[in-house]
Amino acid sequence: MAPPTPSAPVGSIGVALLGLGVVGRGVFEALRDNAAIYATRSGRPIAVRGVAVHDLTRARDGVDQALLTNDPRALAVRDDIDIVVELMGGMEPAAACIEAALAAGKSVVTANKEVMAKRGPELLALAQQNGVALLYEASVGGGIPIIAPLNRDLQANEIRSLQAIINGTTNFMLTAMAQDGLSYDAALAEAQRRGYAEADPSSDVGGVDAAYKLAILASLAFHTTVHPDDVYREGITQLSARDFRFAADLGYVIRLLAVAQRDTDGALDVRVHPTLLDAHDPLARVDGVLNAVAVEGDLLGRAIFEGEGAGSRPTTSAVVADLLHLVSSGPASRGPASRGAASNHPPESPPRQPPTDPPPAQFASRGALHMRYYLRVLVRDRPGVIAEIGRAFATNNISIASLLQVEADAVAGTAELIITTHHARESDIDRFMATAGMLDAVQDVGIRIRIGSASAGSRP
């Protein structure tokens, strides 16, 4: 055991912090500023015994230089470490560090959605084999408790569906486009100016980030393994300011919705795409950078978890909660670090984890989706166009619910049609969109936005 230092009293739990970015700094400061309260709540003092950073030469205000290292993997397996808190983000070296820590008998807390989405099942199995825990509440929904509730509080239910707004960046952009009439580019620039979007926003606006989080939630909710590649994904880059106006006129708002539900035949339908939600839907009111997850279960009915889905402080709330839970549950490592510690907790196994050998999922075919659709089609502005379009819909078994012709462009000789459909098969919509471009009347097939949830879902 490493000799105790002033910041590592005997009997304390030794923590390694991997990463000192926005969230790492938040966790470091919370553990420092609330040390006495957290020791009371968890039953043990918590000592940060090492902090892994990328650049050792940079000054780190308020952080003892002796704690710093640029070798996260070596820190993660050090004898005086009980719990590793991984806040580096990205796949590597984060995944390798988590793996090494678990293999060395350390429990791990992570906020890493990419690692948990891509390698969660394997790492959870490794934790179980080693009698330690891997907790990841912060990986989805920032400070909103959702992983633990799915994993424990909703266990009595067969979950029917899960609908979530789990990417704050795009929700901020969509809210700005709707409420302030911003263009996509202006909304993105504003999100970047406020620090909500990165210089390369592709993971957020492309729906990749939301797909990671949905894979994590769906795996838990449906007791199976959903890989991000299993998630059908469309981002928000195709949306234009006029779609928000038309949506509002029709009584809808546009949200990047992550949906997971079990079809009547047992297949899993998992997808992330822009969705028109009725303006009265509880998720339609989730504005700006807020996140929300709506869960429907056979006993529960529908419950909604809403709050701040990102940012240093909310994410710190989730990371530290996992950490306190580990500490109060008993030994967090099987190494020498916690031996001889003055604890009033009897030996105990780590907190409940999801099963590590879930059955594989059957995924629903996207073509079988049965939803309502919003379509925006650019047509030539001449007589007979509506009839021609109408025939093309009928040929593809699509029934029109509303049709609006707007914004005739006299110079270009074009007009725009805004169409909502009754429930239709996605395969029929696909066929319409694939063939409509060949119609004489159609200049550009435009875009398709799905409306509400699938009829196979939970709203009869």
Give the 3-state DSSP-derived string for the chain, with helices as H, strands as E and coil as C: CCCCCCCCCCCCEEEEEECCCHHHHHHHHHHHHCHHHHHHHHCCCEEEEEEECCCCCCCCCCCCHHHEECCHHHHHCCCCCCEEEECCCCCCCHHHHHHHHHHCCEEEEECCHHHHHHHHHHHHHHHHHCCCCEECHHHCCCCCCCHHHHHHHCCCCCEEEEEEECCHHHHHHHHHHHHCCCCHHHHHHHHHHCCCCCCCCHHHHCCHHHHHHHHHHHHHHCCCECCHHHCEECCCCCCCHHHHHHHHHCCEEEEEEEEEEECCCCCEEEEEEEEEEECCCHHHHCCCCEEEEEEEECCCEEEEEEEECCCHHHHHHHHHHHHHHHHHHCCCECCHHHCCCCCCCCCCCCCCCCCCCCCECCECCHHHCEEEEEEEEEEECCCCHHHHHHHHHHHCCCCEEEEEEEEEECCCCEEEEEEEECCEEHHHHHHHHHHHCCCCCEEEEEEEEEECCCCCCCCC
Minimum Å distance from CB 241 to its own copies? 24
Catalytic annotation, residues = 213
- Residue number, 285 or 422, with CB nearest to its own copies: 285
- Shortest CB 157 distance to its own copies, Å: 6
Assess 331 for contact with its own copies (CB under 8 A). Answer: no
| 345, 370, 380, 431: residue in contact with its own copies (rule CB under 8 A) | 345
CA distance 185 to 422: 32
What is the footprint of its own copies within residues 350-389 (CB under 8 A)?
A: 352, 355
Residue 297 binds its own copies (CB under 8 A): yes
Site for its own copies (CB under 8 A): how many residues? Answer: 56
Separation CA 116–CA 318 (nearest Å): 15
Nearer to its own copies, 141 or 457 (CB): 141
Q: Which is nearer to its own copies, 34 or 435 (by Cβ)? A: 34
Nearest CB to its own copies, comparing residues 329 and 396: 329
C-alpha distances (whole Å) from 15 to each of 181, 291, 428 are: 47, 29, 55
Name the one range near its own copies by CB under 8 A: 7-15, 175-183, 345-353, 362-370.
Answer: 345-353
Minimum Å gap between C-beta 131 and its own copies is: 8
**What's the min distance (Å) between Cβ of 187 and its own copies?**
22
Q: Which of 314, 331, 446, 457 binds its own copies (CB under 8 A)?
A: 314
Beta carbon of residue 304, minimum distance to its own copies (angstroms, whole number): 4
What is the length of the chain? 460
Instruction: Give the residue with the Cβ less far from its own copies, 26 or 120.
Output: 26
Please list every residue from 274 through 293 that binds its own copies, using CB under 8 A: 282, 285
Cβ distance to its own copies smaller for residue 46 or 247: 46
Distance CA 184, CA 167 (A): 16
Give the residue, chosen from 64, 71, 153, 440, that forms a contact with its own copies under the rule CB under 8 A.
153
Per CB under 8 A, the segment of 49-57, 153-161, 259-267, 385-393 that binds its own copies is: 153-161
145 binds its own copies (CB under 8 A): yes
Regarding 217 and contact with its own copies (CB under 8 A), the answer is no
Q: Could you tell me the smallest distance in angstroms from the CB atom of residue 62 to its own copies?
A: 18
| Beta-carbon contacts of residue 357 (< 8 Å; ≥ 6 apart) | 125
CB 334 within 8 A of CB 132: yes
Among 143, 201, 207, 235, binds its own copies (CB under 8 A): 143
Note whether 299 binds its own copies by CB under 8 A: yes
Q: Give me the 16-55 binding string for its own copies, x by CB under 8 A, dash otherwise.
A: ----------x---x---x--xx-xxx-------------
Shortest distance, position 359 Cβ to its own copies, whole Å: 10
Q: Give the x-and-dash track for 102-141 against its own copies (CB under 8 A).
A: -----------------------------------x----
Structure tokens belonging to residue 428: 């029929």
Q: Which of 318, 341, 364, 392 binds its own copies (CB under 8 A)?
A: 318
Structure tokens at 378: 């650019």
One of 9, 307, 390, 452 touching its own copies (CB under 8 A) = 307
Which residue ranges make up the site for its own copies (CB under 8 A)? 26, 30, 34, 37-38, 40-42, 137, 143-145, 148-149, 152-158, 223, 282, 285, 297-308, 313-314, 316-321, 323-325, 328-330, 345-346, 348-349, 352, 355
